Chain A
Amino acid sequence: MTLASIVFQTSPTPAPVPGSNIFSSPILLSVLLWVPVVVAVAIAVMPNPRGRYDLLMKQIAFFTNLGVVAVMFIAYNQFENFLPTAQYEEKLAWLPSIGVTYHLGVDGPGIVMLLMSGLVGIAAVLASLGVRERVRAYFCLLLLTESAVNGAIVARDMFVLILFWAAAAVPIALLILGWGGPRRNVAAWNLVGFWGVGTAALGIGTLALYGATGGQSFDMDTLLKVNAVTPRIQIAVSLVMIVAAATRLPLFPLHGWVRDVLGEAPVGVAVIVAGASGRLGAFLLLRTVIAAMPAAGHILSPLLAALAALTVAFAGLSALRTADIRHAGAYLSMVPGGITVLGFAAASPLGIAGSVLSLFTGGLAAALIVGVSATLAERAQSRSLFVLSGLAPRMPNVAWLLTIAAFALLGVPILASYSAQVMTFFGAFKTQPIGAFAVAAGLAITAIALAVLLRRVLFGAPNSQAPGVSDASLGETWYLGLLAGALLWVGLFPGGPKIPGTDFPLFDPGLMNQMAAGVSDMTAPYVQPTPTP
């Protein structure tokens, strides 16, 4: 059997819609995962005398991402949304003596995360086209980061999850150290410190589960089987996992890295950290606490609600009082994470489904607000909110995109985050009314902060003392437009245009339906018993 025949082996399942099964592969997820790594290595060893091939390297990185997203869309399109189990599974024994398998797979939430990560990845590359120094190293590290994030999403073995979860920190820290702003050292050490603590917490939690389940396997099917361990262990492990998730999402009070990292990182890196990498925290909570340990999920839901409320309120207040637009963007990017966690705290099917959708919408919204803040600061040659004023007429594209980002954070209708927030709040008001009200209050503070920001920066009186400004370049408009467009797409037109000559939309059956695969199983323990007469 040749490599080509393995890669292009067709799936035995019948095609449910036109376009299905054009491409299927038993190693589809590995392709998504390892192609960027191979390309990164190729870029690293490519001869590049005096930076002659810098542009070529950027193009290679871009088209690699484009290819990866194309494969992701195929995976999305062919995803069987009536199956609750993981799909595109790959399972190979790796370290059988300690129960480690190279096990990959995606379920509904996974495919949603993967799609979001792909879009953010492309946006990150487009945002990085302006990099001039050490282009080879930059794109090499960026591709490795993307691969690590995607690996953590598709991992079905906790060992593999830890591996990819931890692997993202080193390239991101180097990207910040090498291409970051003036406070890059503080930012990088903060990142390594907080994420290191999170990784340690994830490792300890995983090993505790491993020990409690007999020390036979790291596979999620074993470790994360519903109620596989006693409630006492569930609570202990869940607390550790919440710490791990809080460092990555981030949640108050483990958010210490956010301001410096998202404020100092180069734009492309900030986009990927705020968008894709941060959502891994919420994804971890979903997988380990909500789906696998419902007893702990019920008991700890007030704690989650409190964390969500504190995070959103802190983010709004901090954005209100900061005088730096990049810091404001960084703080505001914490808001979607808080809303996602509120949905988990709701411990109800609707809330959890809203949270899963907010993994997608929150990632895009966080990436958009961070990206547009950074682009605005670059184009206006200042980060100070005392200097930036009345920019809307002079940078219309950025003004529109900043407004869309603000709407996305607040969950304004027509944007995808609206559906996510409605589901989350409707789910939470019944079971966690205090938490939901507190988060809503935090969101109100965020709305005030955004209103102040927009009024001052875009619509205030122009500052004659400010340095010259210019609107976003084509590349910047494209990457921000991609993020905004994706939010609009899911909000307005989830199925996409119909395929000519058929009744089937291009992205049939829509993101929310794809997402639903597996969510009903996860939420089953949280269904309220119907009262009997």
Chain B
Amino acid sequence: MRNYVLVPEALVVATAVVVLLLGRFARRGVWRAYLPQATALVVLVALGVELWAGATLATYFGGALIQDRFALFVKAAALLTAAVALAATDWTAEDSLHFGLAMPLLAAFGAMVAASAGDLLGLWAGLELAAACSVVLVSLRRPDLGLRLLVLGGLASALVLVGLAFLYAHVGNPDLAAVRSSFLNHEGTVVLALPVLLLLSGLAVRASVAPFHVGTVPVGLGASPLGAGLVMGLVAVAAAVVALKLAAALVPVPELYAPYGQVLAALAMVGGGAAALAVRSPRPRMAYLAVSQVGWIAAGLSTHFQSGIAGSLFLLGAFAVAATCGPAVLGRAEGGEPAIHGFGAVRPVRAAGLALAMLSLAGAPPLAGFFGELAVASALAQSGSYWLIGLGALGSILGVAACVGTLRAMFIQSPLEESRRGAAAPLPAVTALSTAGAVALCVVVAGYGVFGYPIMGLAVQGAEALGLR
């Protein structure tokens, strides 16, 4: 069984390479219409293998990769997200089929590497791989924004590297277990906390936590639908995973950075909700809702005990699917709010997927995000942070109000004449097939809470695996 644990990673990377090679050497053929679904199927197989073999606890490459429950949870979430995103994307709205298929796979691989990383290098490598994939997808449509993202990512990367380098210098060992055991014997000091704050700031840029989202959100908005989903979703997930693992390793420091984390979380939750209400276009609205939900994840992280981290992890799974796949199902209906007028009548399944993803990001019941946010809120209640719960609730109310506006545009207003004419024309095969992916998105977002028992149980085990109580 031990040998099968790395099969998902191998499958994902091999598929990405094959897809890229096909793009280089076999550009034509009817099979292209079925390539996204075939790729999604391979990812689903990888997910199946992960769920079957991933329960095995093992270490690889001299401790560089660790398979534990935390890794199992994150890897399963990343694979599920990638599979649904690939299946649900309207590929006629993407700039390149092959890059569009390969980059989410590699970004998911990056998140998987970060999740099972046993040392600082693995964390950094996983995060940077995921971020690099988003730069590629953004650059395909808007090279200027790609460059901006690259520069911004460079800044974030520098902050993260400075923080990691300091940790390494302080401990003398890049191994996370060594970092943890070393810090267990130290009191938290301001000198120790400052580099950690730099590290967290870099991660906050990657995860688009307010106020650091001002750089990444506009970049994501200029990309293709899937590119935007990657920036808002999988890259943020990879950053959050790194933050979760580091938070567990830096045991004495949290008292020093927890207030910082709480302020960031509060800003993100309220600011994201307010900004979502202020804009009208669906894509920016979704981006700001994602910012708001990342704030909830940060709030859970700032509690720094098992139930808080477990709540954050549980919410992370819901966030990954909704934030990555939401923009992807939007497809060609880009632009302002008029573009989605009557979307429910023209493309009912895609509209349902988009609606559920947005509502989940806003934390509306009874969807995935609601369960995750309430899990975090219960941890915050245990730690007595009622002010943070109040602000989070305010952010969620603003988010739900924003969603109601979009739902009205999609399901109540009449479609534009050109949309109606477009709906009458037969869909390209690749778009028609992606409807099945939109159905899968609806099922995942609606079913996440219903099957919360095993999922939350795994999240709790994941938090335990990080050594928290």
Q: Is the CB of A412 closer than 8 A to any CB of chain B?
A: no
Complex A-B: 23 CB contacts under 8 Å = A93-B453, A95-B371, A95-B452, A95-B453, A97-B310, A97-B456, A97-B459, A98-B307, A98-B311, A99-B378, A167-B366, A169-B400, A170-B403, A170-B407, A174-B412, A178-B411, A192-B404, A196-B397, A200-B396, A203-B389, A207-B378, A211-B382, A215-B381
Q: Is the CB of B408 closer than 8 A to any CB of chain A?
A: yes
Q: Is the CB of B73 closer than 8 A to any CB of chain A?
A: no
Contact between B382 and A177, CB atoms less than 8 A apart? no
Known contacts A178-B408, A192-B401, A204-B389; A166/B364 CB under 8 A: yes
Contact between A210 and B378, CB atoms less than 8 A apart? yes
Contact between A203 and B377, CB atoms less than 8 A apart? yes
Q: What does the 1/0 interface line of B29-43 toward A look like (CB < 8 Å)?
A: 000000000000000
User: Among B365, B379, B404, B452, which residue has its beta carbon within 8 angstroms of that of A94?
Assistant: B452
Contact between A207 and B366, CB atoms less than 8 A apart? no
Q: What does the 1/0 interface line of B373-386 toward A look like (CB < 8 Å)?
A: 01101111110101
Within 8 A of A (CB), among B389-426: 389-390, 393-394, 396-397, 400-401, 403-404, 407-408, 411-412
Q: Is the CB of A304 closer than 8 A to any CB of chain B?
A: no
User: Among A163, A196, A218, which residue has its beta carbon within 8 angstroms of that of B401?
Assistant: A196
B185 CB, nearest partner CB in chain A, Å: 30
A223 CB, nearest partner CB in chain B, Å: 11
- Give the chain A neighbours of B204 by CB distance below 8 A: none
B217 CB, nearest partner CB in chain A, Å: 24
Contact between B394 and A200, CB atoms less than 8 A apart? yes
Within 8 A of B (CB), among A137-190: 137, 159, 162-164, 166-167, 169-170, 173-174, 177-178, 188-189
CA distance A517 to B459 in the complex (A): 41
Q: Is the CB of A469 closer than 8 A to any CB of chain B?
A: no
Within 8 A of B (CB), among A95-112: 95-100
Within 8 A of B (CB), among A266-325: none
CA distance A137 to B377 in the complex (A): 33
- Give the chain A neighbours of B379 by CB distance below 8 A: 98
Using a Cβ–Cβ cut-off of 8 Å, how many residues does chain A contribute to the interface with B? 38
- Give the chain A neighbours of B460 by CB distance below 8 A: 97
Contact between A166 and B365, CB atoms less than 8 A apart? yes
Q: Is the CB of B370 closer than 8 A to any CB of chain A?
A: yes
Within 8 A of B (CB), among A430-451: none
Q: What does the 1/0 interface line of A227-262 toward B look like (CB < 8 Å)?
A: 000000000000000000000000000000000000
Known contacts A167-B365, A188-B404, A207-B386; A96/B378 CB under 8 A: no
Contact between B407 and A94, CB atoms less than 8 A apart? no
B355 CB, nearest partner CB in chain A, Å: 10
A84 CB, nearest partner CB in chain B, Å: 30
Known contacts A192-B401, A200-B390; A170/B364 CB under 8 A: yes
Q: Is the CB of B447 closer than 8 A to any CB of chain A?
A: no
CA distance A489 to B400 in the complex (A): 41
Known contacts A167-B365, A215-B382; A173/B371 CB under 8 A: no
B213 CB, nearest partner CB in chain A, Å: 23
A175 CB, nearest partner CB in chain B, Å: 9
User: Among B382, B412, B459, which residue has its beta carbon within 8 angstroms of that of A137?
Assistant: B412
Q: Is the CB of B76 closer than 8 A to any CB of chain A?
A: no
Contact between B397 and A192, CB atoms less than 8 A apart? yes
CA distance A75 to B223 in the complex (A): 56
Contact between B408 and A174, CB atoms less than 8 A apart? yes
Contact between A97 and B307, CB atoms less than 8 A apart? yes
The 4 nearest A-B residue pairs measured at CB: A196-B397, A200-B393, A207-B381, A178-B412
Q: Is the CB of A226 closer than 8 A to any CB of chain B?
A: no
Q: Is the CB of A197 closer than 8 A to any CB of chain B?
A: yes
Additional pairs, 18, CB under 8 Å, beyond known A173-B404, A208-B381: A95-B375, A95-B453, A98-B378, A137-B412, A163-B365, A170-B403, A174-B404, A174-B411, A178-B411, A196-B401, A199-B397, A200-B394, A200-B397, A204-B389, A204-B390, A207-B377, A211-B381, A215-B381
Q: Is the CB of A193 closer than 8 A to any CB of chain B?
A: yes
Q: Is the CB of A498 closer than 8 A to any CB of chain B?
A: no
CA distance A287 to B371 in the complex (A): 23
- Give the chain A neighbours of B370 by CB distance below 8 A: 163, 166
Contact between A97 and B400, CB atoms less than 8 A apart? no
B436 CB, nearest partner CB in chain A, Å: 14
Contact between B456 and A95, CB atoms less than 8 A apart? yes
Of the candidates A100, A207, A210, A215, the one having the most CB atoms from chain B within 10 angstroms of its own CB is: A207
Chain B residue, CB-CB nearest to A159:
B374
Chain A residue, CB-CB nearest to B457:
A97
Contact between B452 and A208, CB atoms less than 8 A apart? no
Contact between A207 and B453, CB atoms less than 8 A apart? no
- Give the chain B neighbours of A211 by CB distance below 8 A: 381-382, 384, 386
CA distance A211 to B388 in the complex (A): 14
Q: Is the CB of B359 closer than 8 A to any CB of chain A?
A: yes
